[in-house]
Structure 1
Amino acid sequence: MSTGLSERLTTRIGIRPSRRVVAPDVRRRRRVQMVWGLLVLNVMTFFPGSPHLLPIPGIVGKLIAQASLVGALMLVLTVNRPVRVRPSVFIFLLVLLASEALLASVRAEFLFGALFRASRLLTFAMVLWLLTPWWIRRDLLLVRTHLIVLWFILGSVVVGLLVAPGVALTEDRLNGILWPIPPTQVGHYAAVAAGLTIVLWLSGLLRRSVALASVLVAIPVLLLTHTRTALIAMLAGVLIAGLSLFTARTRARRFLAIGVGVFTIGALTLGSVVATWLARGQDSEEVTALTGRRAVWESILATPRSTFEQLFGFGLSNKSFNGLPIDSNWLGTYYDVGLVGVAITVMLVLFVLTAAWFRPQGPQRALALFLVAYCVVASFTESGLSEASPYLLELTLAASLVYQVNTREGAR
C-alpha cells in the first residue's frame, strides 16, 4: 500500500498521522532551564553608562533585567505543580538572610531602594527553593544549564569584540557591548565557565573536543578582561577540585602534574610578562592600595553606628559607599546587614563547604568544591554572596550538588 493511500485511509477513519511527541519530563526540564536562564538574566545588571552597541534605553534594560525574576517565579510555578519543595538548611539560611535584610531596610536612609532590594532577594530565594526538586539529578541539570548560559554570554562578548573591537576593548579591558557587561563581570563569567568545563572534563562528564573549545574561548576572554580576582579564584578552585579527584581519576593526576610543570616553566620564563599583566598599568602604590579599595574599606569601618546598625546594618544598598564601589563581600555585607548578616553569610559558605568535604569522592564533590573555593577567594575583592547575584547562584549550585537524596530521587 502506498504512503499516500495509507494517509488518506487513516484520516478517513479518524486516525491522524503520528506526530513527534515531547515527553512530559523533557518539557519540564526545558522549563527548568528557562527558569535558570531568567535568574542569570536578572543578576546581569544593566549598566547604561557602559559602552554598548544595541540602542537599549537604560530604563528598558533595567526593566528587562528586573522583570526576568517575575518571569522566573511564574514559570517555576507552572513546572512545580502542585508545589513541592525539599527541606534545605541552605535555603533556610538564605531566607533568614533575606528576612534580616528586610528588617534592616525598614530603617534605611533610602527606604524604597533598600526595601526593593530586600524583596528581590526574598523572591530570588523563593524561586531557588521551588527549584529544589531538581537538585542533584544524575544528569547535573542545573550545572549544565548554568554552563550553557555562560557559553551564550561569552559568545555575545566575542561577537561584540569581532564587530567593534575598539568599543569592546575600552581602556584595554574587554567589555560586553551587545548587553553592557563590565570587564569584572565578563572575567567572572569566563573564569567560572572555564573552571566548570575543566572539572567536568576531569570527571569524565564532558567530551574532550567540547571542553577544549570552551577553554580556548573562555581563557583568552578572561585574560583580555585583566581581571586578577577571577583568574586567581579560578586557579584556586580548579586546584582544589583536581585534588579531590586525585586518587580517583588518572586524568586528574595527569592534569595536575602537567599544570605544575607549565606553571613552573611559565614562572621562570614569563615572569615579567605575568607581572606586567597583573600590574595592569598600575604602580606599586596603587597595587598595594588594591586600586583604591582600602580607602573605601577603612571609611566603612570608621563610620559611626548605633547598636542596631552594628547588628543589622543600614539596609541593602547598591554595594557602594559615598559613590565608590565597596568591592568586598564581607565589608559590603557588614555595611548592609551588619554582624548578623555576616554571620549568616559565613554559615551559608561553611555549610556548603562542610557538606562537600564529607561527601563521597566524585564529580558532584569536585564541582561543589570548585564553586565554593571560587566564591570564597573572589569574596575578598568582589561582593555578591549576600544579595541576588551570580555568586549567590553559583553557591546555590554548590549546595544542590552536596544535597543528600536517596538513589530513587537522584535518578529522576
Structure 2
Amino acid sequence: MTVTAGLRQTLRRDAPAGHPSLRTTAAQLPTLLVLSWGALFFNVLTPGSGMILPLPHAMTQAMAQGSLLVALVLALLVNPRLVIRPNTFLVLVSAMAVMALIVSMYSPFPVSSTYRAVRLIGFVACLWLLSPWWGRADLALLRVHRICLWAALGSVLLGAALAPGKAFAAGGRLSGVIWAMPPPQVAHYAALILGTSAILWMCRVIGGRHALLGIVVGVAVLIGTHTRTALIGTIAGLAIACASLFLGHARVRRATLWTIVFGALAGALFAPQIVTWAARGQTAEEASQFTGRTKVWEASLAEDRPTVTKMFGSGLSNKSFDGLPVDSNWIATYLDLGWAGIVVQVTFILLLLVMAITHVRGVRRAVALFLIVYGIVASVTETGTGDASTYLLDLTVAAALLVPEPGRRLR
C-alpha cells in the first residue's frame, strides 16, 4: 500500500476545512491516539521523591519507563497499516537518535547509556507512527497535547489541595506530589496551557470561559512555582505569536493593547512585590549565576576531553556533571552528543522557524511560534531536546501544525 493510499484511508476529518475548532467532544479524537500520546507524555515525567503515596522509586521509574512500550503498542493499534508521513523534522530527530545509540555503545557507561538511547529510538518510532495526524485542520495533536497538560496540572492542583505542606516544600515553590514533578516542570506545563489558551481564544478557536480557565490556572501556577525562565519564555512566545497575528486579527490587537496597559499599571503598582518574587531570596550575584548553574557549566566546558568526544560526546547520560545537574540543554547536549548533536538540534529548530515564517498566517503558525520560542528560551536553563522529553513533544506538535494539510497535499 502506498503512503498516499494509506493516508487516504487512515485520516478522517473531524472538523470542516474552514476555521479549525476545539469545541468538539473527546469522542471525536481517536481514543487510541489520546492514550498513545498520553503514555508518551507519562514516559517523560521523571519520577522523584516527595509524593503523597510513598511509592518506591524503582516502582515509579518502572511505571514511567514502561509506559513507552504501552505507547508503542497503542500507536501500532491506532496505525495498523504502518502509514507514516514523511517530514524533515522527524528525519533529523531520528538521525540524532541513531547517533546517540552509536555513541552510547562506546560510552564509559555503555549499559545505561545504550539503554537510554534505545528508549529514545522507541520514542521517535512512536512519533513516526503518529505522523498521519500531522497537519490536520482539527489540530488533533495540539488538542491531545493540551489534554495531557491539563491532566498533569490537575494532579498538581489536587496535590496542593490535599497536602499543601508537601506541595510547597521545595523552598515555597509549587511542585507535584500526586506524581512527583519539580517546580520548573510544573511551570513548563502551566506556561503551555496559558500561552496556547490565549492564542486559541484570540483566533476564536476556543470560547472565552475555556480560555479564561486556562489563563487563570496558568498564571496562578506560574506564580506559585516561582520559575523565572518559564515566565520569560511565556512572555517572549506570546509576543512573537501575537506579532504574527497582529495585522489580521482585531481581537489580537485589542488584547495586546489591554495587556500592555494593564501590565504597565501592574508593574508600577506592584513593583516591589514583583522584584521580591523574581529575586526568590537570592542576591544579585546568585541570580546572575543562574542559581549556581554557571559554575557547573564552566566546569563541564573546562574539562579536558578527547577530540572525538568533543565532536560526538560520550553517550546519553542523566544530564549531570560530577553529581550536579547541568540544567542547560546545550551544555548537556555537548556532553552527551558533542558538537554534532548541537548542530543537529540547531538545524531542526531553525527548520521549524523557517517553516513557521513561511507558513500562512493563522492560528497554526501562531501556536507553533509560541511553542518554538518558548522551547528556545527554556533551553538555556532546562534540558530536553537532546533526549526524550516534553520539550521534544512540544516541538513535534509545532512541526505537526506547520506541515500542509494531508488532503491538500494529495490534491
- TM-score between both structures, scaled by the size of structure 1: 0.91
Alignment of 1:22-33 (within 5 A): 29-33=30-34
Distance in 1, matches of 2:194 and 2:115, equals 34
Paired amino acid for 1:253: R
| Conservation of the 8 A alpha-carbon contact between 1:43 and 1:388 | yes
| Aligned position for 1:354 | 354
Give the secondary-structure state (helix, strand or coil) at the position aligned to 1:304. Answer: coil
Distance in 2, matches of 1:27 and 1:79, equals 14
List per-residue Cα deviations over 1:380-412 (Å, max 9, x = no partner).
11110110000000001001111124545699x
List per-residue Cα deviations over 1:85-133 (Å, max 9, x = no partner).
0111001000100011112112211111110111111111110011110
| Conservation of the 8 A alpha-carbon contact between 1:28 and 1:79 | no
| Aligned position for 1:242 | 242
Give the secondary-structure state (helix, strand or coil) at the position aligned to 1:172. Answer: coil
- Count residues with an aligned counterpart: 387
Paired amino acid for 1:46: P
Distance in 1, matches of 2:204 and 2:254, equals 13
Unpaired stretches in structure 1, ≥5 consecutive residues:
1-22
- The alignment's C-alpha RMSD in Å is 1.7
Give the secondary-structure state (helix, strand or coil) at the position aligned to 2:30. Answer: helix
1:27 to 1:287, Cα distance in 2 relative to 1, 3 A = closer
List per-residue Cα deviations over 1:18-51 (Å, max 9, x = no partner).
xxxxx9986871111111111100000111xx31
Distance in 1, matches of 2:151 and 2:367, equals 21
The alpha carbon displacement at 1:192 in A equals: 0.9
Alignment of 1:64-83 (within 5 A): 64-83=63-82
Paired amino acid for 1:34: L
Alignment of 1:9-408 (within 5 A): 29-47=30-48, 50-170=49-169, 171-408=171-408
Unpaired stretches in structure 2, ≥5 consecutive residues:
1-11, 15-26
The alpha carbon displacement at 1:268 in A equals: 2.0
The alpha carbon displacement at 1:178 in A equals: 0.5
| Conservation of the 8 A alpha-carbon contact between 1:312 and 1:336 | yes
Distance in 1, matches of 2:121 and 2:325, equals 23
Distance in 2, matches of 1:24 and 1:60, equals 40
Distance in 1, matches of 2:327 and 2:37, equals 26
Give the secondary-structure state (helix, strand or coil) at the position aligned to 2:281. Answer: coil
Give the secondary-structure state (helix, strand or coil) at the position aligned to 2:54. Answer: coil
Larger Rg: 1
Distance in 1, matches of 2:78 and 2:365, equals 28
Give the secondary-structure state (helix, strand or coil) at the position aligned to 2:242. Answer: helix
The alpha carbon displacement at 1:55 in A equals: 2.8
The alpha carbon displacement at 1:215 in A equals: 1.5
Paired amino acid for 2:380: F
| Conservation of the 8 A alpha-carbon contact between 2:320 and 2:326 | yes
Deviates more, 1:28-37 or 1:187-196: 28-37
Give the secondary-structure state (helix, strand or coil) at the position aligned to 1:382. Answer: coil
Paired amino acid for 1:131: L
Paired amino acid for 1:136: G
The alpha carbon displacement at 1:289 in A equals: 1.2
Distance in 2, matches of 1:252 and 1:131, equals 32
Distance in 2, matches of 1:128 and 1:236, equals 27
| Conservation of the 8 A alpha-carbon contact between 1:99 and 1:122 | yes
Give the secondary-structure state (helix, strand or coil) at the position aligned to 2:68. Answer: helix
| Conservation of the 8 A alpha-carbon contact between 2:368 and 2:397 | yes
Paired amino acid for 2:372: V
| Conservation of the 8 A alpha-carbon contact between 1:138 and 1:410 | no
1:410 to 1:38, Cα distance in 2 relative to 1, 3 A = farther
Distance in 2, matches of 1:113 and 1:76, equals 26
Paired amino acid for 2:80: R
Give the secondary-structure state (helix, strand or coil) at the position aligned to 2:272. Answer: helix
Paired amino acid for 1:343: V
1:409 to 1:62, Cα distance in 2 relative to 1, 3 A = farther
